[in-house]
A and B are shown apart, each in its own frame.
Chain A
Amino acid sequence: MHLDADDEKILNGDYGETRQRMMEILVALGKVFGAEKLVPIASAQVSGASYKTIGKWGLEWLRSLDARVAVPSVLNPIGMDREQWFEMGIDPSFAERQEEVLAAYRRLGIKLECTCTPYYITITGYGDHLAWSESSAVVYANSVIGARTNREGGPSALAAAIVGKTPFYGLHVVENREPQVSVMVEGCDAARGLRTDHFGAIGYLAGKEVGNRIPFFSGIRPNKDQLKSLGAAMAASGAVALFHVDKITPESRVFSFDPGSLETITIETKDVEEVFSSIEVDAVAVGCPHCSPAELERIAALLRGKTTTKPFFIFAARSVVRSNRETVDAIEKSGARVYEDTCMVVSPAMERYAAIMVDSGKALAYVPGMCGAAARIGTIEECVAEATS
């Protein structure tokens, strides 16, 4: 792998032992993946923020590091809201250890935003190279923004954040971003009912078929929030890190290819309908991935004049909550609770429910395994109706 003079100095230890170790990690990954060089990144998102995940030894390793990040960097969601953990029912000793992990990251210069939607926080543009970790953030950055990132592990994202570069391979290379499979969605128009419009359910189905390939969708016209839902679901039920949507996503016009040369998967309305069930639930949770300002406004509008009859959780990034305080207050007036830093997939607080209704194909895929609860998917309107019925 080619290293420039600065990279070599870091590798020689001229900038301290921590940076040297981090460069060794990047060089080793470059070898493993056959990268020809390192490329500068615009931002990083580091996983391994939850104490439950990294444990005592992960925390000790973080504490042994002595350097500051070179680019804007945030964290993955953790198991609790950093301020409202007690009312979430989180054990105080867990909360204490969690704060120790965050303090270790703060010392490295990482912003204590624990979110799967860093694109609402750090400015991310077309063609930017990134080192992001969380699967739904990776697929959004690649597909909806046209930025370039592989799905990083915790230490590799941290190494990239501290060095300010990442190995140039995989989805950083334009030739590797070409569509590999065609997905036709049939019967998807507003006139035929809201459910065919439900991109979480479509993504949940598509991810299972697509696996880790790059799909090219036609027959749908999702907006940004719907693209978010579609991609997050495919990254959960499959391992999709990039998708294109005909005439919608920024790179859909970049590649000239013969759709007939690709394997074609067809998703029909009846397939989507079958994802929906009507099981009894004892809680409702939305915000997987974390809500956008527009989604918060929609929830507030749907809740206006209503009172919740069962626990209703809404999850969003800290700075999104803080800069939309009036909307959040309007939501909470109904009895619903808005939490930051965490979500229904990673918080142990959700384990006390037997069945949870969600508006997310990603949550539908993960809630049964991560929370030990049954999951039911609905549109956001159906979720609000269930929570207030």
Chain B
Amino acid sequence: MEVIIRARPIAKGTGTGPLLVTDAALSFLSGVDPESGVVIEQGHPLEGRSIADTVLAFPFGKGSTVGSYVMYALQRNGNAPAAIINHEAEPIVAVGAIIAGIPMIDRPEIPFAELKSGTTATVDGTEGSLRMGA
């Protein structure tokens, strides 16, 4: 059964991939390696995991504003997530998603805890929706 969940559109476009979910904030600058797409922040729940081609769900961004450019670097290197879901968007990730062309939504009308890593999901960052399951 397919579920469609409404959300707020932040960066336009649609992207599909397996959900990669964390309840920890994420910094792209020094937290993600733009050459590999792997999370390198020590002690982060996603440490060692690649975010490339995933629908990456994390509560919100943190760290330096230079993180926006790291998201652009990920996209140019082919290591960007297919889409981003935030609980609450903040400027670094929102701006990064737009300059990198990564579809992004926030405030999905579903508790974050109900998003399960591995489930295939499609984010529509133009209209503002999340589709899961098939």
* Interface residue ranges, A against B (CB under 8 Å): 21, 24-25, 28-29, 31-32, 48, 53-58, 60-61, 153-156
Once the chains are docked, how many angstroms separate the CA of A89 from the CA of B70? 29
Residues of chain B within 8 A of A31, CB atoms compared: 8, 10, 89, 94
B98 touches A28 (CB 8 A): yes
Assess whether B4 is interfacial by the CB under 8 Å rule.
Answer: no
Is there an interface contact between A21 and B65, defined as CB atoms closer than 8 Å? no
> Do B98 and A24 touch across chains, with their CB atoms under 8 A apart?
yes
CA distance A156 to B96 in the complex (A): 11
> Which B residues lie within 8 Å of A154 (CB)?
65, 68
Considering only CB atoms, which chain B residue lies closest to A53 in the complex? B66
Q: Does B34 contact A (CB under 8 A)?
A: yes
Contact in complex: A57, B92 (CB < 8 Å): no
Are B76 and A60 in touch, CB under 8 angstroms? Answer: yes
Specify which chain B residues have a CB less than 8 angstroms from the CB of A153 in the assembled complex.
Answer: 65, 68, 91-92, 95
Closest to B11 in A: A28
Partner of A61, one of B12, B69, B89, B94: B69
B64 to chain A minimum Cβ distance, whole angstroms, is: 9
Chain A to chain B contacts (Cβ below 8 Å), 30 pairs? A21-B98, A24-B11, A24-B12, A24-B98, A25-B94, A25-B98, A25-B99, A28-B11, A28-B89, A29-B95, A31-B10, A31-B94, A32-B10, A32-B91, A48-B66, A54-B66, A55-B66, A56-B73, A57-B70, A57-B72, A57-B76, A58-B69, A60-B76, A61-B99, A153-B68, A155-B65, A155-B68, A155-B95, A156-B91, A156-B95
Q: Which B residues are CB-close (under 8 A) to A29? A: 91, 94-95
Residues of A within 8 A of B76 (CB): 57, 60
Contact B70 A32 (CB under 8 A): no
Interface footprint category on B: 20 to 34
B47 close to A (CB within 8 Å): no
Say if the beta carbon of B109 comes within 8 Å of chain A.
Answer: no
Interface centre among A32, A48, A55 (most CB of B within 10 A): A32
On chain B, the residues within 8 Å of A155 by CB distance are 65, 68, 95, 99
Chain B nearest CB, measured from A133 CB (Å): 9
Q: Is B23 an interface residue (CB 8 A)?
A: no
Closest chain B residue to A155 by CB distance?
B95
Residues of A within 8 A of B34 (CB): 57
Residues of A within 8 A of B98 (CB): 21, 24-25, 28
Extra contacts besides A28-B11, A31-B8, A31-B89 (15): CB < 8 Å: A21-B98, A25-B95, A29-B94, A29-B95, A48-B66, A55-B69, A56-B73, A57-B70, A57-B73, A57-B76, A58-B69, A60-B72, A61-B69, A154-B65, A155-B99
Interface centre among A25, A28, A31 (most CB of B within 10 A): A28
A54 vs B96: C-alpha distance in the bound complex, in angstroms?
A: 13
* Cβ-closest 8 pairs across A and B: A57-B73, A153-B65, A58-B69, A28-B94, A155-B95, A57-B69, A24-B98, A61-B72
A153 to B38, CA, bound (A): 25
